[in-house]
Structure 1
């Protein structure tokens, strides 16, 4: 057994020795080890071309800094934690968000880790773990609530963070958000322009801040155009495809059914279209649907849909910029951004 253990330790040492180091990059770039080290740390006295060359070689050889050593020297982990609900939207949402964040971090010493949690568990748990263990230098959270306990917790502890979505707490903090109020107003106006008079809204869950934004815009635009709401209860964009389809089928079977629908999710719109067709109606003829989408798939489903695009990849990039600014101690107001909806794409 001792012989086997000794061999394992020897193999580990051999693995460590074979990993690329600062000396490897220095040799390949013709630069000094100190220059390479400072370039990877984004030192201001190192030229941008030199930094790009060093980072390119570092990526090509698979260089990874020793995190334990980095933390001992600087007190930092060079890690950003993205705390994500494991049931977060699919259809490219998560991958686009991660891509956008990673793209922004690529030119920095920071790396992204995803910290998952279940919607059935306390969303404070992963945030508390990262803060208390110091396992990251900054946190990005999503599914923001008006009175978000996570935001208060990190603010009180002075821990850098950014949120995908806004709060309503009177706390200035870094965020990026999509203007869902403006989206709902735009969607209702489009349906009014098409001659639709009775509209339904498939909204986010009430506990999330963007529910209020979308709902407020929807009601404001209804009143402006003199339209009527066909209440769509029992389902939100968080419900399963089957649940949304069932609820919408029931609504579309009523005599006072809606002739226009505003959807808060591209994924959910697949269920809405199926429900409309389940009762023998036709999208674009009997009912029009305006949907937000984060991936350009809906026109492949039905060209008769009207869509507004939300770039989740851009959101990821902005969130990375915001959390890096928070780590640097910048004013939170300078780290807040809001994406406006694009024009409704007509069929």
Structure 2
């Protein structure tokens, strides 16, 4: 390779900016002791000349991969969280030296296996996991192996760790309050499988709502968000054809709410007239699908951005106990008009 065709290096950027090689390197690493103006100039020059750090060389020098691994369950239905979460993480990592790698697994796999693979092969400097359980074996494994990690969802671990979560208990309670204000008394729910931590939070808010608003549950047997949309639709169609059908339904996912609506309509009924439906959603679709559905919004791209930010801070030495974020945004379009609380 002749001199003219060699790729640009840190020395090239240092020569063009007048900064030292050390300052250039630290600016590209988003070091806190480098000014924003210096970082901006270094990044601009790096972009203009097409600079790309040698990840292989970097790993040899530092032992770091400059990779954050998102270990993600891919068995989500339509309107899944996957792409939205990746969008948020990518936006946060755009101006850092870190790259996002997604390692998928399904409900049929051992959820610990992809975590063990990343740790044992040294494939990443930090890990992000989701669908947490109260006593999550992945959390204990990552702690035992000193791997920086952030969870999307809380756990019952006695050792503090970094996490980002949506306040599902508050959603369920506020959803029950909304159903009560619309005159509902007999409530059915569609929640995730009970082994997940956020399912426990949903159940807590739901039970408190039943007690506080003098409601009764119309129980659906063995029906969860993890069921197929066809299964959810069929179960709701049968439920809504029964003489003691519910007058309100609380759903923890937008995709399930589409199937729920189809089941209601198969029974010859209409959302907003014969039965009220309150749902959490992560995209602004349900209002357009059926305006009568009352919705609470979960900002998954923002959650992804915070997860990536916390992973970066862990690798900068921040205390995991200080890196926690509980998110909630209520936005219901009901017959009394929109209202919002954060």
TM-score by length of 1: 0.90
Cα 1:223–1:58 shift into 2, 3 Å: same
Cα 1:28–1:304 shift into 2, 3 Å: farther
CA deviation after TM superposition for structure 1 residue 263, in Å: 0.4
In structure 2, the partner of 1:306 is 294
CA deviation after TM superposition for structure 1 residue 105, in Å: 1.9
Residues 310-344 of structure 1 deviation map (CA, whole Å, 9 limit, x = unaligned): 00011111111222222233222211110123242
- Report the count of equivalent residues: 334
Q: Does 1:281 align with 2:261?
A: no
Q: Does 1:50 align with 2:43?
A: no
CA deviation after TM superposition for structure 1 residue 66, in Å: 1.0
In structure 2, the partner of 1:253 is 241
In structure 2, the partner of 1:340 is 328
Structure 1: state its 5+ residue gaps: 1-12
Alpha-carbon distance between aligned partners in 1 of 2:174 and 2:295, rounded to the nearest angstrom:
11
Alpha-carbon distance between aligned partners in 2 of 1:318 and 1:264, rounded to the nearest angstrom:
22
In structure 1, the partner of 2:174 is 186
In structure 2, the partner of 1:7 is none
CA deviation after TM superposition for structure 1 residue 24, in Å: 5.1
CA deviation after TM superposition for structure 1 residue 29, in Å: 4.8
In structure 2, the partner of 1:128 is 116
In structure 1, the partner of 2:157 is 169
Q: Does 1:215 align with 2:190?
A: no
Alpha-carbon distance between aligned partners in 2 of 1:98 and 1:56, rounded to the nearest angstrom:
25
SS at match of 1:108: coil
Residues 12-67 of structure 1 deviation map (CA, whole Å, 9 limit, x = unaligned): x69x9564443554566565544432321223443211212322443455533111
Given that residues 186 and 344 in structure 1 are in contact (C-alpha distance below 8 angstroms), is that contact kept between their aligned partners in structure 2? no
In structure 1, the partner of 2:59 is 71
Alpha-carbon distance between aligned partners in 2 of 1:68 and 1:266, rounded to the nearest angstrom:
43
Given that residues 308 and 345 in structure 1 are in contact (C-alpha distance below 8 angstroms), is that contact kept between their aligned partners in structure 2? no
Given that residues 74 and 82 in structure 2 are in contact (C-alpha distance below 8 angstroms), is that contact kept between their aligned partners in structure 1? no
Structure 2: state its 5+ residue gaps: 336-342
Residues 120-146 of structure 1 deviation map (CA, whole Å, 9 limit, x = unaligned): 111111100111111110000001011
CA deviation after TM superposition for structure 1 residue 78, in Å: 1.0
In structure 2, the partner of 1:322 is 310
Alpha-carbon distance between aligned partners in 1 of 2:284 and 2:44, rounded to the nearest angstrom:
32
Deviates further, 281-290 or 51-60? 51-60
SS at match of 1:254: coil
The match for 1:230 among 204, 218, 225 is 218
In structure 2, the partner of 1:5 is none
Q: Does 1:294 align with 2:278?
A: no
SS at match of 1:249: helix
In structure 1, the partner of 2:93 is 105
Q: Does 1:141 align with 2:129?
A: yes
Alpha-carbon distance between aligned partners in 2 of 1:123 and 1:328, rounded to the nearest angstrom:
27
Given that residues 292 and 308 in structure 1 are in contact (C-alpha distance below 8 angstroms), is that contact kept between their aligned partners in structure 2? yes
User: What is the RMSD of the two structures over their aligned residues, measured on CA atoms?
Assistant: 2.0
In structure 2, the partner of 1:10 is none
TM-score by length of 2: 0.91
